[in-house]
Structure 1
Amino acid sequence: MKRKTLRAALLLLLAMSALLLWNKPEARQVISSTEGILRLHIKANSDSDWDQQTKRMVRDALLPLFSACGSYEEARAYVLAHGQEVQQTCEAVLARRGETYGASLLLGKQTFPDRVYADTLYPAGTYDALEVVLGEGGGHNWWCVLFPPLCLVTEEGEPVDLDALSFESDVLALLKAAFPGWFQ
């Protein structure tokens, strides 16, 4: 009897593992070229909670500046034509926070790791990017794709971690309902 129960449990575990892997979200598309993509890269002054919060506040102040850009060319032209306004926006946030360090901007090529946004993989490579360095730039950074617009932020102002989104199988939900003690 114990052998049959163990065998059934192992079979069920194998089936559930297969279902979970089958429902794993993956990139459905892979961009073929880094051309026409403008990324935003913000480096915090340090890893202190204060500086990390400051970085997020700068991000929240910058993103609306680019909301009207309808193309890569428009986003890049906006940075070139309004770089001083972009920098002043950063420094206004720093001043409100009582920071004495400044912000520097650099529009150029940068190397980024693999990243999935929505269902599209942006592979590791060199992209055009607007880099914003706050103070020493020694803290954790934040990046997104400015154009096409993929800078996803929640209502609380935190970036949406697309890798942390979870999906649940309907079959798994039925198994949980049928065997509630097995899924604690």
Structure 2
Amino acid sequence: MAVAPYQDSTIKQFLTEKDPSRRSVLTKLWLESKISELGIVSVTSALLIATFCATFSWYNTSASPWSALACWTSGLVIAVGSLGTAAQQTLSLNHLKSYPGFENEICDYVGHDATNTAGNTVRQPAYSRIYILQIPVMMLKLSFVLFLVGLGLAVWDASIKRGRNSAESKIAVAYTITVIFVGINYAISSIFLYRKTSKVKAA
């Protein structure tokens, strides 16, 4: 859950742009994209919060191991934190847009002066600031993982208690296969999109 490559390359693009007018355009495009991203995170976090809350009602939580409940409870809190952080950042960025010359303010916030190998001063992304801007997305991903881990702990605990030939054991195997399938496809999708984005930036 480190800084996403596309964030680094996009920010570096407008930080190092020499033409002021083009830098302004690139900064505005990045800002609009970031606000849209936060909107998606807010909606997804709200849906995930509803999923966590529903889990406590339809699943027999009293028979679940404490580790599963700990994952679900922690995931719920993190999802709420993701929603709140995304909303706060959206409000702040929209408020920033109302000021003249906000493009320069954004460049100052996400970038810093650094010295390259030739001894020249260049603008580079400030990774601590980029990390802050990615907190909603990272918390959302973590809450997804905690939900799946908690569900896995619950179904496998039931499988162990009921025995190898029980229906619970078959459910646990089916769940594991499904999670592996989803994880592989998620990884393929993410890698493809990141590589595609890198090629577009390089062009």
> TM (normalized to structure 2)?
0.27
Q: Which has the higher helix share?
A: 2
Q: Which has the higher contact order (CA 8 A, sep 6+)?
A: 1
> TM (normalized to structure 1)?
0.29
Q: Which has the higher strand share?
A: 1
